[in-house]
């Protein structure tokens, strides 16, 4: 029977569904066996995708009444419920594995929630890219016998799935804040970082669980690698399109989340192929195109401005970096902020972390960092200052 709860109560129940596992956290079994214990045996079909319960929707609430409304792609921009451009900006945030810094001890869900609070309440971010991180094994063979305590993805680790839902639900308590749930590291990716048929199963489970959460967007993968000459663009496109189709198969008709597909070349940078070949799955509705920019301003037109003329673009990563592959200076980042805000392109800085550079927090090497100070680094101070200014307000115009 369809719920007749008033919107506020319905919203509370929807968010409660995401965090239900938290109430029983102390009763849950360990994420991995104790040393010397036998490895757990997965039930048959454990990686076969969402269960019937995941996909059930009869009588389920619609998400109406939540404090942050649905986004929609119209033309070449993502738009808010009132039709205004979505001007989200913020940072990348790691899950409980924390750039593989905290996977070696029990998951610190409260630490991720603390960082969400700091990023939204103190830094005034309105857009968070939540990085879901999983690995094919416990890492024991490569780390002198030390083993990750938790590392499996949402298909194979029910506790991790519950933790992810709790984290996402916490973002839902922040009015006007959106979260791009992104698969950052996942063993289902192809060797070149493309989504596979098994990645589609991961997304079906996540999308089914989050289908009524309007503040959530989906980021298919991290960065398709190599392919500098573009000869494999069509293959990358097909993998992305198939994954979007899988997500649409479990969503409500007329209530599609915004999905971001990543650039086909150069570690997710280039959106050129999509300009002539946009995603068609689900009628091409509510698809945005994500680029990661670690470059000098000479490439900003190619990577951002030109595709943004016809496509809804999201800058999923940027930050100052100098190594053999990339060069981007702090002043280049400021110039990209200016360009993105001039074009109404949402952006998120890399990364709200102490040891996953370029770090927005003061560096702390070789530790998990749970409970540590969240003091901003020089890069963090730059981003925090930018977030304190109105959209499209260059540094020189600030107080």
pLDDT tens-digit readout, 226-282: 899 999 999 999 999 999 999 999 999 999 999 999 999 999 999 999 999 999 999
Q: Is 153 exposed, middle or buried (0-12, 13-18, 19+ CB in 10 A)?
A: buried
Instruction: Report yes or no on 36 lying in a domain.
Output: no
In this predicted model, what pLDDT tens digit does every residue of 46-72 receive, in sequence order? 334 445 554 444 333 344 557 999 999
Residue 345 within any structural domain of the chain: yes
pLDDT in tens, 69-90: 999 999 999 999 999 999 999 9
For 297-324, what is the mean pLDDT? 97
- Say whether the peptide bond before residue 351 is cis (omega within 30 degrees of 0): yes
Overall number of domains in the chain: 1
**Helical packing angle, 7-19 and 158-171, nearest 10°:** 140
Instruction: Tell me if residue 212 falls in helix, strand or coil.
Output: coil
With 70 as the cut, is the pLDDT of residue 43 above it? Answer: no
- Say what the pLDDT of residue 14 is: 52
Residue 274 phi, psi dihedral angles, 5° rounding = -70, -25
CATH number of the domain within which 386 lies: 3.20.20.80
Domain of 259? Answer: 7-22+63-397
Residue 371 Ramachandran class (φ > 0 left, ψ -120 to 50 alpha, else beta): left
> To 5 degrees, how large is the angle CA 26–CA 54–CA 216?
80
Asked if the structure places residue 211 within a domain, the reply is yes
Rounded distance between C-alpha atoms, residue 118 and residue 380, angstroms:
12
Give pTM, 2 decimals.
0.85
Any domain includes 221: yes
Q: What is the mean pLDDT of residues 195-216?
A: 98
Mean predicted confidence (pLDDT) in 161-177: 97
Beta carbons within 10 angstroms of residue 197's beta carbon: 12
Residue 27 CB neighbour total at 10 angstroms: 6
Answer yes or no: is 47 within a domain. no
Does residue 51 lie within any of the structural domains? Answer: no
Short-list 88, 89, 86, 105, CA closest to 97: 105
Q: How many helices (H) and strands (E) does the chain have?
A: 11, 12
Instruction: Please provide the average confidence, as pLDDT, over all residues in the chain.
Output: 87
Q: Is the dihedral of CA 162, 170, 112, 71 positive or negative?
A: positive
Closest CA to 288 of 339, 217, 352: 217
Please check whether residue 318 lies inside any domain of the structure: yes
In a domain? residue 382: yes
> What are the structure tokens assigned to 79, written together?
């738009």
């Amino acid at each position: 029977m369809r719920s007749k709860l008033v919107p506020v109560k319905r919203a509370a129940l929807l968010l409660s569904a995401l965090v239900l596992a938290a109430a029983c956290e102390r009763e849950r079994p360990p994420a991995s066996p104790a040393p010397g214990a036998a490895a757990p045996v997965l039930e048959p079909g454990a990686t076969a995708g969402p269960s019937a319960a995941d996909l059930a929707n009869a009588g389920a609430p619609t998400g109406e009444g939540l404090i942050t409304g649905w986004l929609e792609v119209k033309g070449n921009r993502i738009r808010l419920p009132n039709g205004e451009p979505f001007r989200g900006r913020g940072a990348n945030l790691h899950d409980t594995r924390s750039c593989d810094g905290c996977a070696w001890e029990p998951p610190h869900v409260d630490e991720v929630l603390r960082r969400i609070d700091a990023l939204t309440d103190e830094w005034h971010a309105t857009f968070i890219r939540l990085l879901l991180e999983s690995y094919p094994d416990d890492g024991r063979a490569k780390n002198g016998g030390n083993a990750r305590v938790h590392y499996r993805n949402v298909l194979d680790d029910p506790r991790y799935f519950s933790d992810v839902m709790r984290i996402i639900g916490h973002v839902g308590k922040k009015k006007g804040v959106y979260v791009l749930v992104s698969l950052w590291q996942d063993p289902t990716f192809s060797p070149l970082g493309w989504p596979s048929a098994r990645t589609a199963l991961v997304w079906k489970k996540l999308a089914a669980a989050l289908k009524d959460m309007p503040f959530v967007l989906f980021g298919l993968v991290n960065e398709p690698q190599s392919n500098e000459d573009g000869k494999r663009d069509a293959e990358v496109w097909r993998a992305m399109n198939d994954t979007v189709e899988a997500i649409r198969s479990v969503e409500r008709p007329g209530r599609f989340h915004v999905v971001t597909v990543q650039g086909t070349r150069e570690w997710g940078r280039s959106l050129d192929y999509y300009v002539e070949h946009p995603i068609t799955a689900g009628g091409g509705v509510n698809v945005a195109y994500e680029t990661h920019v670690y470059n000098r301003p000479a490439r900003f037109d190619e990577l951002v401005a030109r595709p943004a003329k016809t496509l809804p673009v999201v800058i999923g990563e940027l930050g100052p970096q100098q190594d053999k592959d990339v060069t981007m200076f702090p002043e280049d980042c400021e110039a990209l902020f200016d360009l993105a805000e001039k074009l109404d392109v949402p952006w998120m800085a890399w990364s709200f972390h102490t040891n996953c550079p370029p770090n927005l927090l003061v560096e702390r090497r070789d530790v998990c960092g749970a409970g540590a100070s969240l003091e901003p680094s020089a890069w963090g101070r730059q981003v925090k200052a930018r977030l304190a200014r109105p959209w499209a307000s260059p540094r020189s115009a600030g107080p």
